[in-house]
Amino acid sequence: MLNNVWVRRGLLVIGLALCAVMVSRFPLGAIGDACMQLGPWVFLTPAIALVWYGASAASMRCLLEGRVPWLALYWNRLVGEGYNALLPAAGIGGEPFKLRQLSQYVETHRAVVALINDRLIDNALAFAYSGGTVAIGALMIEMTTGVRTSMLGYGVAGLGIAAVMVTVMVTTASSRIAGKIARLLGADQLGHERVRVAVLVRAGLWCGLGKLIGMLEIALLFHLLDVQFDIADVFFTAGALSAAGFIGGAIPQGLGVAEAATVGVFQILHFPGPAGVAFALARRGRMLLVAVIGVVLHLTFGRARTQTGTGEAAASRG
C-alpha cells in the first residue's frame, strides 16, 4: 500500500493538473482581463468570510450551551479553519487545535461532542442544500442528458446523506462516537446523553445564517465580473460548488476540483469561461488569505490567548 504522504502528493498533483487543464481552455489574456475586472472590491470577500465565521462561532456557542465565550469561539474558528485550509489533512488539520482550546473551558468529551455535531450540522445543511438546489437546477436549466442524470443522482444522494446525519445528531450516536475519541485521548467519558433537539435547531439556524452570508460573496463576484445574474443563479452556484467540494474532498483543499466545477457552473449558466476562472481564483485567494491571517494570529498571539483562555475557563468552572 502506498504511504499516505505519497497518496496526498499524488492527489495534489491531480488537482494541479486539473487547474492547468482548466486554465489552458481559455486565452490567458482573457483570464487576466477578467481578474483585473474584479478590481479592489474583491478584497471585500475576506471581510464577508470573517462575518460568517462569527455566525459559525455562535452556532458552536449554542452546542456548548453558552459555556464558552463567543470571542473565544470566534478565535477557535478563525485559527482552526486556517489550519484546516493550509494543512493537507482532508480539512481536519485544525481540529486538534479546536479541541485543545475548547478543553480549557469544558470536559474533553463535551468538547468532542460539540465538534462532531458542529461538523455534522454544517455538512447536513450543505448536503441538503446542495442536493436540493442541484436537483432543481437539473430540472429547470437546459443541459445534456448525462449532466442532468448525474446532477439528479447527486441530489437524491445528498438529501439521503443529510437525513442520515440528522439521525446521528438526534440520537446518542454522536455522543458515543465522542466517548470513544475521548477515551483514546485519555479523558474521562461522560454518559451517552442525547443532545437536545432545541439546541441542535438553534445551532443549525446560526450555521444556516453563516451559509447565507457566504452567498453574498458569490453575488459580489458576479457583480464585479459584470455577468447578468439573478438570485436563483446565486443559490444554484452555491449548491453546485458545495457538491463539488464533497465530490472532490479526497484532493487536498479540493484543489483543481473547485476551479473546474466553477467553470462548469459558468458554462451551465451561460456565463463567460474566463470569468469563471477569475471567480474561482478570487475564492481560492480569499480562502488562503483568511487562513494565513488565522495561522499568523495564532503564531503571534497564541500563547497569550491560551493563557487568557485558561484564566477564563478557571473562572467559569470556579
pLDDT of residue 55: 96
Q: How far is CA 79 from CA 94, 243, 300, in A?
A: 7, 25, 12
Cβ distance 220 to 73 under 8 Å? no
Rounded Cα distance, 21 and 25, in Å:
7
CA–CA dist 184, 34 (Å, integer): 50
Answer for the pair 215, 234: CB distance below 8 angstroms, yes or no.
Answer: yes
Three-state DSSP class for 150?
A: helix
pLDDT at 52: 94
Per-residue model confidence (pLDDT) at position 316: 47
pLDDT at position 6 is 57
Q: What is the pLDDT of residue 222?
A: 97
pLDDT at residue number 185: 62
**pTM of the model as a whole:** 0.84
Alpha-carbon distance values, 82 to 54, 162, 293 (Å):
14, 26, 8
DSSP 222-248: HHHTT----HHHHHHHHHHHHHHHHHT
Which of 87, 113, 81, 111 has the alpha carbon at shortest distance from 99? 111
Mean pLDDT by 10 residues, the chain (318 residues): 53 67 79 92 95 96 93 94 76 77 88 89 92 88 85 91 90 74 62 77 94 95 94 91 79 75 89 93 93 90 57 48
pLDDT at residue number 162: 93
Q: How many residues does the chain have?
A: 318
The predicted pLDDT at position 2 comes to 38
